[in-house]
Amino acid sequence: MSFGQFFLDNIFLFLMLFAAIGGIIYFELQGRNAAGEKVSNARAAVLANDNGAFIDLRSAQDFRQGHIAGAKNMPLAELHDHVSKIRAAKNRPLVIYDHNGLNTAAAAKTLRDGGFEAIYILDGGINGWLAENLPVVSK
């Protein structure tokens, strides 16, 4: 039996396989577009210096213990309420971060739904920032 005959005999299975692969690719690309672009610490600093802003998604307690200078604290659970307060920054680059960068996709989606376009995710979060011995401030 040739591959062509095998393919014809199992066309439904091959169609399901192609549909599944296509769906996985589509949803992966959608997820990347909905979230922000991951940026290194150096790129985040450049964005912040270029009229950008840091948004710290951690709790207020964690924020007080240490955060990137100039960052605004907007805990993830309360971010939706803060979106209207930062509308003036709609056209500015926003670099968002949490502890390790794993919970930023939901925040990026909330911001994108609020009309923000230039959303960047600090790769590694504040832990990555601290691992490179970059400065933090505390209140």
Please report, for the chain, the start and end positions of each structural domain, with discontinuous segments joined by +: 1-35, 36-137
The beta strands (E) that lie in 24-106 are given as 37-39, 53-56, 72-73, 94-97
Q: Is-contact 110 79, C-beta < 8 A? A: yes
Q: Rounded to two decimals, what is the model's pTM?
A: 0.74
| Class of domain 36-137 as given by CATH | alpha beta
Report residues of the chain scoring pLDDT below 50: none
pLDDT tens, residue by residue, 81-119: 888 777 777 788 999 999 988 888 888 888 888 888 889
Residues ≥6 apart with Cβ < 8 Å to 104: 35, 36, 57, 96, 97, 98, 121, 122, 125
Q: Is-contact 106 129, C-beta < 8 A? A: no
